[in-house]
Chains A and B, each alone.
Chain A
Amino acid sequence: MIGFVTNLLLLVFLVFILALVIRARRLFAVVVLAGAYSLVSAAMFVNLDAVDVAFTEAAVGAGISTVLFLAAMAYLPGQEKPAPDEGVINSTLLAALICVGAGILLIAAAIELPVIGDPNAPAHVHVAPRFIEESGSFLHIPNVVTTVLASYRGFDTLGETIVVYAAGLGVVILLSGHTRTARTIISSVKSVTTKTGRRPSASKTAKKVKSEKTFKPGKRGKNG
């Protein structure tokens, strides 16, 4: 009962944070609120006895993501652009309709779900009993989550690790100026200026040229 009430309170808090996120126009506030959202979700996971998930949510969602968002925010304007006036009512109405519809569908689906912790739930009668019994008695590893993650589902985790690796590599390659577009810009800049420079300075110039190319027409379009 207490768990249910706590969850309800946390859920209300999540909705409150979401409302603040929707209202906020400053991106800094949005990023910090997103971190707070993750922290409240982590508290909710703790309440649901999913400590490992809560740990990950707190470390990744509330910790590193916030820092990375702040670092990435440097490329964005500080304020969200206000929506244009005409057609707002129609698009908002449509969005609200879709959201309410999807929400009703999700709630309808959730009613069918088994109660939390129900030992007879389909998910708990298939392979889970074997995992729980073996992990303690045979493998002597008390944390079943670790056994499932690293041993029983080791192949999944290998895939996850490769996804993390590929994602990190992709972002670094995109931002480091080694892409074909950046190289073309660098070579064009090099042919114009006599400055030879090492790669970092060349890529800097490339970024500047790129930003000028992309930003100037937009400004003109807005003014004219």
Chain B
Amino acid sequence: MGENPILRVAAKILFAPIIVFGLYVQFHGDYGPGGGFQAGVIIAAAFILHSLIFGLAAGRKLVPAWLNFAMLAAGVLIYGGVGVAGMVLDGLFLDYNVLLADPSAGQHIGILGVEFGVGLTVTAVMLALFHAFAGFSEARFSHDGSAEDSSPDGKDA
């Protein structure tokens, strides 16, 4: 798909606005529809679009595998960390009231942190799934389709 100039230009133009929209959905979840789950999917969609148009290798350059897996774990850790922070500050697990002096503000911070963790994990899972599926098929097809000894090493990452 990467040869079509219309697709390339459209992908380049759309990439940043999709991420900005994802961040809006992420951090505006308190006031409107949205939250971590939706935002994570939208942000992942931007990176998947990039991978679809410019190839898997370019997508992996943008979000390397180690970063992807770090995000995957970091999201859950952030969520759990917000919960443990409540315990450290003499509250219960996932009790946001004690995070700040004002319980209402504490709830705001707690919900933002938790939603951020959810968004991070969902983004990473969607990206990892896409790369696992698409990378797997590319490896199989390039091996089956091309000559046996053409050493396709290093093309996929």
Contacts and interface: CB of A to CB of B under 8 A. Distances in A.
A201 B108 CA distance: 49
Interface string A198-224: 101101110110010000000000000
A164 B80 contact: no
B125 A164 contact: yes
Interface in B75-121: 75-76, 79-80, 83, 93-94, 96, 103-104, 107-108, 110-111, 114-115, 117-118, 121
B76 A161 contact: yes
A140 B115 CA distance: 17
Chain B at the A interface: SS class: helix
Contacts of A64: 41, 44-45, 48, 126
A157 interface: yes
A162 B76 contact: yes
A167 B96 contact: no
A150 B156 CA distance: 38
Contacts of B42: 59, 63
Q: Contact size class for A?
A: 35 or more
Contacts of B32: 143
Contacts of A71: 130, 133-134, 137
B21 to A, nearest CB: 11
Contact of A146 (B44, B115, B124, B139): B115
B140 A168 contact: no
A77 to B, nearest CB: 13
B33 interface: yes
Given A175-B133, A204-B139, 15 more contacts: A67-B48, A139-B108, A141-B108, A143-B31, A154-B96, A155-B94, A158-B83, A158-B94, A161-B117, A165-B72, A167-B125, A175-B135, A201-B152, A204-B152, A208-B140
Interface of A: 51-52, 54-56, 59-60, 63-64, 67-68, 71-72, 74-75, 138-143, 145-147, 149-151, 154-155, 157-158, 160-162, 164-165, 167-169, 171-172, 175-176, 197-198, 200-201, 203-205, 207-208, 211
24 contacts: A59-B41, A60-B38, A63-B42, A64-B41, A68-B130, A141-B30, A142-B31, A143-B29, A146-B35, A146-B111, A150-B115, A154-B83, A154-B110, A154-B114, A155-B93, A160-B118, A161-B76, A164-B121, A168-B124, A169-B72, A175-B135, A201-B152, A207-B140, A207-B143
